[in-house]
Amino acid sequence: MKYGIDDAPVFVIDASRCIGCEACVSACMECGTHRGRSLIHLDHVDRGVTTQAAPTVCMHCEDPTCAQVCPADAIKQTETGVVQSALKSRCIGCSNCVLACPFGVPNYIAELDQMMKCDLCTDRTSEGNPPMCASVCPSEALWYGTPDEFAQNRRGSLVRDFVFGRQSVRTKVFMVVDDVTDGPLDALAGSPGDWLDDPFGLEEGIGTS
Amino acid sequence: MARQPISDEELIERFGPHLNEEPPGGWDADIEVDRVVETHCCFCGQQCGIKLKVHKNQVVGFEPWYDFPFNEGKLCVKGVKRYLQGSHPDRLLHPMERDPSAPGGFRAVSWDRALDRVVGEIQRIQQAYGDDAFAMLSGVSLTNEKSYLIGKFARLALHTANLDYNGRFCMVSAGAGAKKALGVDRAPNPWSDIPLADVVWVAGSNVAETFPITTSYIWRARDRGARLIVQDPRVVPLARTADLFLPVRPGSDSALFGAVLHTLIRRDWLDHAFIDAHTVDFDEAAAAVSDMTPRWAAGITGVPAARIEQAAEWWGTSATGMLLHARGIEQQSKGVENVLAAINLGLATGKYGKPGCGVTTITGQGNGQGGREHGHKCDQLPGNRDITNPEHRAAVAQVWGCDESEIPGKGLAAEEIIEAIHDGTIKGLLSICFNPVVSAPDTNFTTEALDRLEFYAVIDFFLNDSAVHADVVLPGSLHEEDEGTATSGEGRIIKINAAVTPPGEARLDWKILLDIARRLGRDEHLQYRDTREIFDELCRASTGGTADYTGATWERIEAEHGLFWPVPSVGHPGTPRLFEGGRFFHPDGKARFHPVPFRESAEVVDDDYPVWLTTGRVASQYLSGTQTRRIGGLVEQYPEPLCEMHPRLAESLGVIDGDIVSVSSRRGEMTLPAHVVSTIRPDTVFIPFHWPGKKSVNQLTSRALDPISRMPEFKVAAVRVVRAGGGIPIRDARDLELHEGPT
């Protein structure tokens, strides 16, 4: 399972597979350098109408917004493009990064007066091991492997370019979307089965007894 | 008198559940790891591989076990937090006797005193009321070795017929159905067959929360283009992206399966060659569904007829397909019929014995498969043999070295044991790995029964919710403290390795049982130095049975990452996929169709109790919660039961999200917060079952049993729901603020 120097594994998020079990949230605490703090985000999109949950790790932007807005120059990237937590010695706890990140990733930890965030489990990935969350994720919504492995085994296309208003960001972490060769995404195109709009057949008047 | 000695509050103060939040020494301890032990998660029948990190005889963390092929390092939230059950402040460290004057209601005593008391009470009760007046209840979180030993211990040391196990509340309808139809009780497939299926049909299983790892197998099938059908009263997380959702009304599954078989026959989506060559009694099964049209079934099940036709078409016309079922269809008073109706669909389309083909249960409990093979069921002997069959009895007596007549006959099933305690027929009970106050139906009846026992002894590592009624509590061992084997839901025999030794005066479970046998003077056939000797005897006793472990050794199991039984001879490679070539386990090699006419559940809704109740699990809790309600992160994820209801039902009751509601049935009543979600049928409420006392949904469930499997009807009851006043905010910090107020 370990990845060697030539393998160039990537981190992939496919929220459509997420089952909301929170294994990632718990596993994040177990990474050697996280010390009981979970730095991943798991949101229930709207439990009133759906069980859809969405996991968010740091996307590790090529030119990270968090670092751009940091007045103390406390946020550094590793040589491999991993954006790290704020340096303790520099972080002034202003939360500019928390407010500016287009993905909502950084956490300001008040008791430490420091910003901490997903570091892709640097202690694990530097030794060729997958990050904790992608190791345990039982639905492979969070996945770590080479682009070839992905292409051989998984559906969908990998995207890493995102546009937020006038801001464009390119990320180290990929998200999965339906095949991009099909043209632009239509977010309102509906569900895979046409049952989702009326799961219990209420429109047909037979869902209740 | 097995009465709870002091109040709930005092007991909780002393024995918990308290929450273990951190590894020993805390998160900042920088502990050197002495060794890493390859073993398995204890929290469900998938038995994911995991590595436990050990420091100074304490489990201090885990590491994913990437090389174990079943889960390749993956774990659900329970597996991640699993290691926190060790080094726990609630751990029982000394034998105890009930003493209302002692702090906590129990006082520590010596092993000698505790065991002499247990033995004295067994002898007194059996002399006064007969051997069968002392019963034993066991469970399948235990290893194969312990399951086997308990079957032998109960028969040859306790001399009682009344031994049963908690699988009676879990997998037993699936086992009974599979034995009747296929001649063997095991999943027909290794899980690696799931990605090879062109259609995956999940019936009555909330896979995402109860078997999260299986999700990855199903997604892999879909990556290949497989269609996914989900049959459930709720839009469970797996259903969210399914190709077809069958929103079946609780208790109507056999009507749905019947209509699908009806459609397969009408459209001739059948494998006639397979039916002719490898099955019998197709005509009887066909006759039973001749009137079960999709339109008729729509009226019973609430599933639109077009969806039933669609399911039949996909199942009937796909070259490969797997139907996975679990407690949703099995925990009913017609659980066996539901299973037989599902198997009929596999037989009719020839979906057995081939890659990517099978109809299988997803075994629930940790050793739910292995624990139901080796003889600690009331009707069973090792090798999954029948305790009423003279040849089977003779074969086992020969291995045990006893006379066949020394083996008692068939005893009562678990719920019947509780009823016999209630009516005074059974006076004494020894239980291990069983928490009926939470897990049995009709909680008020169960606690009344336990209070009537003249003597109750419990072996456990925490003071479970039933043990508070005990006269003597014996501190036993955790999963990670003993060595042995388990058999996963795939039928894969795996190795459980000890990481640490029991703390304080706690002892290994099997040593406690052997000590009781010795003190009873009935240990002639119960002499073992270690659990390997028990395993070797288990394998010999299984020879010639269906669950044949003859060629299994601990070394092979570890070296080969598990062995699929049957392993009928030394050097045999094991049998990952059953029924290849259409050979079934009945003497004539053929599978049996069974006619399954539809009948209603034991209880149906009416004017007084107009809402269906169904029960189940949540992702972060396991069974009766003895372990998982003591782990911080798991409790925080789902702290207490909620009553899921559809906005349409909520509106008719004047209830909004978070309102406290009273839910009552003919057995009892509970109050809890409403969780208003449009992912459940409007005529049904769902409440998870992991909690004791006033939070137990089993206060509402009924003791109606399946006539064959003796499974209680946990999945169907009629209830009344009213607003009780007050409320709590339910949405937590993880919910995004997309809407104002309830939707």
pLDDT of residue B729: 74
- Which stretch of DSSP H or E encloses residue B200? strand B199-203
Instruction: Give chain B's end-to-end CA distance (angstroms, integer).
Output: 52
Write out the two tokens for B207. 């896979």
pLDDT surpassing 50 at residue B170: yes
Q: Report the percentage of chain B scoring pLDDT > 70.
A: 98
> What is the ipTM score, two decimals?
0.94
Q: Cβ contacts (< 8 Å) between B302 and chain A: which residues?
A: 200-201, 206-209
pLDDT of residue A189: 61
Residues B218 and B210: beta-carbon distance below 8 Å: no
From the CA of A152, how many Å to the nearest CA of chain B?
A: 10
pLDDT tier for residue B5 given thresholds of 50, 70 and 90: confident
pLDDT of residue B313: 98
Question: Could you report the per-residue pLDDT of B562-574, keeping only the tens digit for each?
Answer: 999 999 999 999 9
* Nearest residue, CB atoms, A207 vs list B247, B657, B736: B247
From the CA of A163, how many Å to the nearest CA of chain B?
A: 21
pLDDT of residue A209: 41
Whether the CB of A122 is below 8 Å from some CB of chain B: the reply is no
What 3 state SS string does B290-338 have? CCCCHHHHHHHHCCCHHHHHHHHHHHHHCCCEEEEECHHHHCCCCHHHH
pLDDT surpassing 50 at residue A91: yes
From the CA of B309, how many Å to the nearest CA of chain A?
A: 14
Q: State the best of B77, B243, B614 to mutate against chain A, taking most chain A CBs within 10 Å.
A: B77
Write out the two tokens for B474. 């014996």
From the CA of A63, how many Å to the nearest CA of chain B?
A: 27
Q: Please give the residue that has the higher pLDDT: either B604 or B13.
A: B604
Instruction: Give chain A's end-to-end CA distance (angstroms, integer).
Output: 52
pLDDT surpassing 80 at residue A24: yes
Whether the CB of A206 is below 8 Å from some CB of chain B: the reply is yes
Q: For chains A and B, what is the number of CB pairs under 8 angstroms?
A: 179
pLDDT tier for residue B103 given thresholds of 50, 70 and 90: confident
pLDDT tier for residue B740 given thresholds of 50, 70 and 90: very low
Residues B549 and B542: beta-carbon distance below 8 Å: yes
* Nearest residue, CB atoms, B682 vs list A21, A140, A207: A207
- Which stretch of DSSP H or E encloses residue B44? none
Whether the CB of A50 is below 8 Å from some CB of chain B: the reply is yes
Tell me which chain A residue has its CA closest to the CA of residue B61. A30
Give this prediction's pTM: 0.96
pLDDT of residue B535: 98
Q: Cβ contacts (< 8 Å) between A50 and chain B: which residues?
A: 235, 240, 679
Mean pLDDT of B139-153: 97
Q: Please give the residue that has the higher pLDDT: either A209 or B259.
A: B259
Q: State the best of A3, A14, A35, A51 to mutate against chain B, taking most chain B CBs within 10 Å.
A: A51
Q: Cβ contacts (< 8 Å) between A130 and chain B: which residues?
A: 64, 73
From the CA of B86, how many Å to the nearest CA of chain A?
A: 16
Question: Could you report the per-residue pLDDT of B383-426, keeping only the tens digit for each?
Answer: 999 999 999 999 999 999 999 999 999 999 999 999 999 999 99
Interface contact flag, B237 A20, Cβ < 8 Å: yes
Return the CA Rg of chain B. 25
Question: Could you report the per-residue pLDDT of B178-196, keeping only the tens digit for each?
Answer: 999 999 999 999 999 999 9
Interface contact flag, B215 A138, Cβ < 8 Å: yes
B710/A105 Cα distance (integer angstroms): 52
Taking residue B296's Cβ as centre, other Cβ atoms within 10 Å add up to 17
pLDDT surpassing 80 at residue A193: no
From the CA of B77, how many Å to the nearest CA of chain A?
A: 4
Whether the CB of A90 is below 8 Å from some CB of chain B: the reply is no
Q: Cβ contacts (< 8 Å) between B605 and chain A: which residues?
A: 209
φ/ψ of B442, rounded to 5, equals 55, 65
From the CA of A167, how many Å to the nearest CA of chain B?
A: 23
pLDDT surpassing 80 at residue A66: yes
Mean pLDDT of B435-444: 97
Comparing CA positions, the residue from B673, B636, B602, B717 lying closest to residue B337 is B602
Interface contact flag, A140 B240, Cβ < 8 Å: no
* Nearest residue, CB atoms, A135 vs list B73, B77, B208: B73
Interface contact flag, A138 B242, Cβ < 8 Å: no
Q: Cβ contacts (< 8 Å) between B733 and chain A: which residues?
A: none
A174/A12 Cα distance (integer angstroms): 5
What are residue B563's DSSP bridge partners?
Answer: B493
**Burial of A149 by CB count in 10 Å (0-12 exposed, 13-18 middle, 19+ buried)?**
middle
pLDDT of residue B736: 55
B523/B177 Cα distance (integer angstroms): 36
Interface contact flag, B216 A139, Cβ < 8 Å: yes
pLDDT tier for residue A205 given thresholds of 50, 70 and 90: low
**Mean pLDDT of all residues belonging to chain B:** 96
pLDDT of residue A186: 60
Q: Cβ contacts (< 8 Å) between B243 and chain A: which residues?
A: 192-193
B404/B398 Cα distance (integer angstroms): 8
